[in-house]
Structure 1
Amino acid sequence: MNGGRDAAAPRSPVRFSAVVLAAGMSSRMAGKHKLLLPIGGQPAVRRTVSALAAAGPEELVVVTGFNGRDVIDALDGLPVRFQGNPRYEEGQMTSVAAGVAALRMPCSVVLVCLADQVLLDAGDYRELVDAFGAMPYGSILIPAFNGQRGNPVAFSASYVPEVVTGRLNPGCRKLIAEHPDEVFVHEAAHDRFTVDMDTPEDYARILARLGISPDAVAETGLV
């Protein structure tokens, strides 16, 4: 929210924590749980969380709900903590609040991440953290590509109390219009921040981008 940063001042490394939203019901995936679909020999959620863990967060919280036990099993051995959300059917913001409330380690930035963004790698997450540290104004960062907004959203840890109580939704589409001084849009040079996996068609397109033959996952019945 400080628009007058000194560009010459040295910057300390940004310490970030991450919340992964993995509680949804996959209602558009033709009866399959999208987070458990195979991507290159591992469940989609494990691919996402492994990439995020490799980016070096202070802390990584995964919010579970629908098929929570299966999601936990899919992440066995990874350096994460789990937070159940009994209200997951009420919408994504309940999972955001539950995950942010579960953070314990000191940090300056929180990333709210989607578990089905399987194209993102550790470097992409670091790109957002570094962009947050370098942005000329604002305290919330939203990635975009060719005018399309994406995820994860990054916000200053000073907002944690407001997010936990529901007074602030950092992913709200009205936020940019209503609080332009607080929101910085990071224009990425690639579309990976805008790609998620909601439908069988999305899944097929992602497999094609990764060079994975549909025959390798024919047992899913989706491709």
Structure 2
Amino acid sequence: MTVSAVILAAGRSSRFEDGHKLLVEIDGIPVVRRVCQALAASDAADIVLVTSEANRAVAKAAGPGRWSVAENPDARDGLSTSLRIGLKSISQDADGLLVALADMPAISTELVNALVSAFLSNSATIVFPVASDGRRGHPILWPKSLFPELMTVTGDSGGKAILTSHQALWRPVPCDDEGAFADIDTRADLEAFKARDQAMRRK
């Protein structure tokens, strides 16, 4: 039984002032490469980084590694188009699909492996991290039975509607790792992330 992973990295970064959020470096490593490296060290069998055909700088910033790159020519039409590209690009033998967002630089290998482990013990479930206060995080791991539904999503909502309609399949994994909930959309988000990161290192 295997899990494939898709990293969604084709967004326009329109809310990030003066640059592209995935190209910003944290500790000398671009945000997109941090996420790729975390997944590359995990138990995911294969990894596909979905980038925009119009912005190849993201794939360049990701650099070489244990992932392939799939370009999305329709990235302007929303997150769902990248999800479909990812589904078409992963191994056809995959039993599950882990969907990660490239703007979450603190996603850890340990978190990914915890999600994969939970899924492999029951591959009919939707697995995701959940905080003690009830917040749902990322990545989300989808069973193969839902791949056809994921291929039908449209717009920029990803799989939210499908997640909501299949609550009986939920398998939340308790998570106190803030990396599962922290994304970067703006410069303010970036500065807040760096401040939290520095605070954690001082502990």
Out of 70, 80, 95, the residue aligned to residue 93 of structure 1 is 80
Q: Hey, what does 1:83 align to over in structure 2?
A: 70
Structure 1 residue 160, shift from structure 2 partner: 2.2
1:145-164 map, 5 Å: 145=131, 146-164=133-151
Partners of 1:123 and 1:100 in 2: CA distance: 24
TM-score by length of 2: 0.86
1:171 matched residue in structure 2: 159
For 1:102 and 1:188, locate their aligned partners in 2 and report how far apart those are by CA, in whole Å.
29
| Pairs within 5 Å for 1:102-121 | 102-104=89-91, 106-121=93-108
Q: Is the 8 A contact 2:32 2:102 kept in 1?
A: yes
Contact 1:138 1:181 in 2 (8 A): no
Deviations 1:50-76 (A, max 9, x none): 111000321110111165311111122
Q: For residue 25 of structure 1, give the secondary structure of its aligned residue in structure 2.
A: coil
Match of 2:181 in 1: 194
Q: Determine if contact 1:19/1:63 at 8 Å carries over to the other structure.
A: yes
Gaps (5+ residues) in structure 2? none
Q: How many pairs are equivalent? A: 196
The one of 139, 143, 152 equivalent to 2:125 is 139
Task: Identify the match of residue 28 of structure 2 among 41, 45, 57.
Answer: 41
Asked if structure 1 preserves the Cα contact closer than 8 Å seen for 2:44 and 2:116, the reply is no
Cα drift, residue 42 of structure 1: 1.2
Q: CA deviation at 1:103?
A: 0.9
Does the aligned pair in 1 maintain the 2:124–2:145 contact within 8 Å?
no
Structure-2 residue corresponding to 1:17:
4
Task: Give the TM-score of the pair, scaled to structure 1.
Answer: 0.79
Kept after mapping to 1: 8 A contact 2:51/2:58: yes
Q: Specify which of 180, 198, 201 is matched with residue 211 of structure 1.
A: 198
For 2:118 and 2:147, the matched residues in 1 are separated by 20
Name stretches of at least 5 consecutive residues in structure 1 with no aligned partner. Answer: 1-13, 213-223
In the superposition, relative to structure 1, how do residues 170 and 38 fare at CA in structure 2: closer, same or farther (>3 Å)? closer
| Alignment of structure 1 residues 48-87 onto 2, 5 Å | 48-65=35-52, 68-87=55-74
How many angstroms apart in 2 are the aligned matches of 1:170 and 1:45? 19
- Rg bigger for which structure? 1
Percent identity over the alignment is 33
SS where residue 141 of structure 1 aligns? strand
Instruction: Find the aligned partners of 1:55 and 1:208 in 2 and give their Cα distance.
Output: 27
